[in-house]
Amino acid sequence: MTQLDMTLWQTIDVMVQQIPFTKTKVENMLATHLIEKDIDKGPIQSTAFQFYTSDPVKLANGVVINDVDLRIRRRPGHPGFLVLNLGGSCTTLDTVREHYSDLRITEHPHGHSLDEATSYSAFPEWGKLSFGFLERNRNCLAYVVLNPKYDADNIAQ
């Protein structure tokens, strides 16, 4: 397991500076190796996105990034989409609010599964930053999503 000398908050700040995301940028910032993930499990590969995942990365504050989920559109111009699935020490909503006070609920559970989440999102100028808390452990942050803005009209067809 890779060990970084950054907290979760420093990691988020550094990752924001890497937008648009690439496999190489994420690997370099998290000192890990990303491998392409076949999510289709069939003979037909996704033509829209490339999916990458990683081994766990331990952060300075006891938080563990269990895996990185990087999605990069196969067509040029998309800034990518990054999910950090978390474990290790518990990060509460109050702690998230200490760093991002202007949060809105953008997703809520519908009662179908303990894997459903309540997501709280901030909307910095670069896009949307979401913090997800799963029903199975509502008090601890389960994932962080960095979803940069992009102008679909300017993506090459």
Query: What secondary structure does DSSP assign to the chain, as a single string?
Result: -EE-S--HHHHHHHHHTTPSP-HHHHHHHHT--EEE---S-SSSPPSSEEEEEE--EE-TTSEEEEEEEEEEESSTT---EEEEEEEES---HHHHHHH----EEEE---SS-TT-EEEEEE--TTEEEEEEEEGGGTTS--EEEEEE---GGGS--
Q: What is the pLDDT of residue 155?
A: 44
Instruction: Show pLDDT as tens, one digit a residue, over the chain (157 residues).
Output: 889 999 999 999 999 999 999 999 999 999 999 999 866 555 555 578 899 999 999 999 899 999 999 999 888 888 999 999 999 999 999 999 999 999 999 999 888 898 899 999 999 999 999 999 999 999 999 999 999 998 654 444 3
Q: Is the pTM of this model over 0.85?
A: yes
Q: Which residues contact 152 (CB under 8 A, 6 or more apart)?
A: none
